Amino acid sequence: MKAVLKLVNIGQREGEETWEFNSGVVTEIRGRTAAGKSRILKSCALALSIPIISEEIRNTAISFGIAKTDNAKFSPLLNSNKEKAVIELSYDGVKKSVEINRDGSEKINTPGNQKFIYCSMLVENSKIQNYIDLGLSDFSWIVTEMSLAKDYESIKDIVGSYSDLITAKKEEIEKKEKNKKKFEGELKKNQKELKDVIEKIRILEANIDMELEKIESNTELKKDRKLIIEDLKDKQKTLSDTEKEFLSLKKTVTDLDKKIKENKKSIEDEIANLNNLENRKKGYMALDVRKLNNEINLLHEENAKNFEKQKLLLPEISILENSKKKYETILKELDKTKADKVLCWVCEGKEIERKDIENDLKITQNGLSPKHEKYKEIDNQITENKRKISSIQKDKAEYSKLPEVKKEIEISRNKLIDLEEENRSKVEKKNEDDMAIKRVKKNLENRTNIINQLIEERNKIEKQIIDDTEMNKTREETKKQNTNKGAIENQISNLELAIEECKNIEIFKKNLEILKAKEIFQDFQDIFNNINSHLESNIKKQREGAAHKFNENIEKIIEELELPSFKKIYLDLDDNNKLKIIRKGNPNPQAINSLSGGERVIISSLLQISAKETYNPEIPFIVGDDIILKMDDDRREIFYNYLKNIAKTNDWFVILTRVTDEDLVKEEI
Amino acid sequence: MSQNKKIIEEIVEYIESSIQEGLDEAIFIKEFRNKIEKYMSEKLK
């Protein structure tokens, strides 16, 4: 393979120049310092990497003198005397060209790959070289910045979203199929229900036709019944009024009876009172006042005589009592003195013996007693006479009451007349009421009979009336069944729509028949699974590729280069792609800054080549600017041999520069 | 099955070329959708 590099106004060189390179070999561009070696490499790098989008890579490209800074008006590769520069690189049917203008604009015909800057430019201040120079071991950034893992992941997300869409659609299909089955079951059930309901309605409507005929006769009967009921109501009201009248009359009669009885008692009492008054009057009339006065006078005269008798008796009694007192006093004196004799109080110097005194006392007492009795007897007679006088005077006083009694008799008689009159009137009233009661009772019986007749008539009609509750039930049931029918029909219609809806599925605004869609979705799910596997594999490869490749290469190179001091150099996949260096005789990893300058160049170059093989294999170019400067002759030869081998194996263009004392020269080595 | 294999190959090829040329997600999404729709239409024939 041949590559042709055409440069116009690049660097210090004005005008056009052409460089040709062969693949499969290492081409060395040699010359003195500032002879224009680097601009050839830089032009290649620019054509193969532009446009450089990543800010970090652009910064690296600026530091390499490939890209212009933000402040610079034009590319550092443009000849300072020219307005425009051109870089054209052709190889294997690929033609990349970049036009650089002084106004800062750049034109690119075919885009390159910006990762070329990191992977394929072996320069002293490459990022990998810088890391190693600084003793930094973390190379995870290679994966982040150079791998295509991100791109593959983005595509995986996009494919995943389609895969998810297909899965969702498949789930939707499953749901629709399930629903369709369910809806069809429900539809079948509803259709059966509808059939049953229609049959029910047919039977009910037939019944209604029959019942309609009955309704007409029922209407007439109901009219009659209504009239009877109304009549019955009137009659019952009248009966109720009559009953009230009857009860009122009965009460009046009872009250009258009671009053008549009371009157009779009053009359009887009054008669008794009148009789008593008459008797009293009779008694008073029988009294003879003159005779009574005579009797009183006689009694007064008799008492006057009695008083005279008592007056005559009193001196005798007094003398006898004085004697008796004298004898008793003497006897007391004798008792006191215990003497038997006492001087005579009548005959001076004469003594009287005790026994004589006692005898005289006895005689005196005997004489006194009949006198006392006589006096008392007269006294009793007087008292009796006084009583008789008082009694006669009382009788006389009673007689004075005669006019009053006569008046009372008059009153009593009048009262009796009134009472008898009242009683007669009440009895008459009672008799009238009794008659009225009989009349009302008769009336009551008549009305009751009429009512009973009406009730009987009503019952008879009611028996004739057909019970329309059943008819109403039939109508209600028909109505209910019709509503039910409507609901079922509605449900059927909805189910049919739902089933129809379940038959298709929409994707990309197209309606697919569900079975066909299922088949297609299954195919696409398989397709996406396959693509996903490819993407996952590439993501893994991209993530781990550089480290694997590096580890493989470095092991091989260590063997080939016969680097005596290294046992193993590798990127530790388990430790965030850290660079681990194991020297012979020491199993522990060594610090990176323990590497010599030559070792650093070799290791960083090998790491870059590994990254290129993984991340930038489609561009068959490796350019190296003075990388062998720090290597000793042995290592340089070994490294050159390694590069030759790579160039040959991969059919790559490997272009290196080297400072010599010569004029600018190109040579395949 | 062979049709699926062909589709897979075409898509993989398309993915790889998109990545190698520098992935533009917006264009990729649009084109990818068109491809899927095209394949789907073919399958419906």
Closest residue in B to A158 (Cα) is B29
pLDDT top residue among A436 and A565 = A436
Put simply, the answer to whether A520 touches B22 (Cβ < 8 Å) is no
Instruction: Report the pLDDT value the prediction gives residue A7, as an integer from 0 to 100.
Output: 96
Query: Does B2 touch chain A if contact means CB atoms closer than 8 Å?
Result: no
Instruction: Report the pLDDT value the prediction gives residue A624, as an integer from 0 to 100.
Output: 93
pLDDT digits (tens, 9 = 90+) for A126-142: 888 899 989 898 888 87
Instruction: Report the pLDDT value the prediction gives residue A569, as an integer from 0 to 100.
Output: 86
What percent of chain A is predicted at pLDDT more than 70?
99
Put simply, the answer to whether B12 touches A618 (Cβ < 8 Å) is no
Instruction: Report the pLDDT value the prediction gives residue B1, as an integer from 0 to 100.
Output: 56
Put simply, the answer to whether B20 touches A155 (Cβ < 8 Å) is no
Q: How far is A145 from chain B (nearest CA, A)?
A: 13
Q: How far is CA A262 from CA A253, A268, A271, A456, in A?
A: 14, 10, 14, 48
- The arithmetic mean of pLDDT across residues A161-171, rounded, is 92
Q: How far is A612 from chain B (nearest CA, A)?
A: 13
- The arithmetic mean of pLDDT across residues A311-321, rounded, is 92
pLDDT top residue among A218 and A63 = A63
Residue A663 has pLDDT above 80, yes or no: yes
Closest residue in A to B11 (Cα) is A531
Terminal alpha carbon distance of chain A = 16
Average model confidence (pLDDT) for chain A?
89
Q: What is the CATH number of domain A2-123+616-668?
A: 3.40.50.300
As assigned by CATH, the class of the A289-399 domain is mainly alpha
pLDDT digits (tens, 9 = 90+) for A389-403: 999 888 888 788 888
Q: How far is A141 from chain B (nearest CA, A)?
A: 19
Instruction: Report the pLDDT value the prediction gives residue A561, as an integer from 0 to 100.
Output: 67
Put simply, the answer to whether A527 touches B4 (Cβ < 8 Å) is yes
**Residues of B with CB below 8 A from A152's CB?**
15, 19
Instruction: Report the pLDDT value the prediction gives residue A651, as an integer from 0 to 100.
Output: 95
Query: Does B33 touch chain A if contact means CB atoms closer than 8 Å?
Result: yes
A354-399 and A149-286 helices, crossing angle to 10° = 110
Looking at beta carbons, which pairs linking A191-198 to residues 24 or more positions away fall under 8 Å?
Answer: A191/A492, A193/A488, A194/A485, A194/A488, A194/A489, A194/A492, A197/A481, A197/A484, A197/A485, A197/A488, A198/A485
Residue A275 has pLDDT above 60, yes or no: yes
Q: How confident is the model at residue A158 (pLDDT cuts 50, 70, 90)?
A: very high
A289-337 and A354-399 helices, crossing angle to 10° = 160
Which range in A50-59, A175-184, A542-551, B12-21 is most confidently predicted, on average pLDDT? A175-184
Q: How confident is the model at residue B44 (pLDDT cuts 50, 70, 90)?
A: confident
Q: Same topology for domains A2-123+616-668 and A289-399, yes or no?
A: no
Instruction: Report the pLDDT value the prediction gives residue A264, as an integer from 0 to 100.
Output: 92
- The DSSP output letter for A126 is -
Residue A44 has pLDDT above 90, yes or no: yes
**Considering CB atoms only, which of B20, B25, B39 is closest to A154?**
B25
Residue B24 has pLDDT above 70, yes or no: yes
- The arithmetic mean of pLDDT across residues A287-307, rounded, is 90
Residue A260 has pLDDT above 70, yes or no: yes
Put simply, the answer to whether A151 touches B11 (Cβ < 8 Å) is no
Query: Does B27 touch chain A if contact means CB atoms closer than 8 Å?
Result: no
pLDDT digits (tens, 9 = 90+) for A405-463: 899 999 999 999 999 999 999 999 999 999 999 999 999 899 899 999 989 988 888 88
3-class DSSP assignment, residue A255: helix
Put simply, the answer to whether A523 touches B36 (Cβ < 8 Å) is no
- The arithmetic mean of pLDDT across residues A597-616, rounded, is 84
Instruction: Name the least confident of A308-317, A363-372, A602-611.
Output: A602-611
Instruction: Report the pLDDT value the prediction gives residue B2, as an integer from 0 to 100.
Output: 81
Residue A563 has pLDDT above 70, yes or no: no
pLDDT digits (tens, 9 = 90+) for A82-104: 999 999 999 999 999 999 999 88
Put simply, the answer to whether B40 touches A507 (Cβ < 8 Å) is yes
Instruction: Report the pLDDT value the prediction gives residue A601, as an integer from 0 to 100.
Output: 85
* Residue A43 half-sphere exposure toward CB, CA atoms < 13 A: 31
3-class DSSP assignment, residue A619: coil
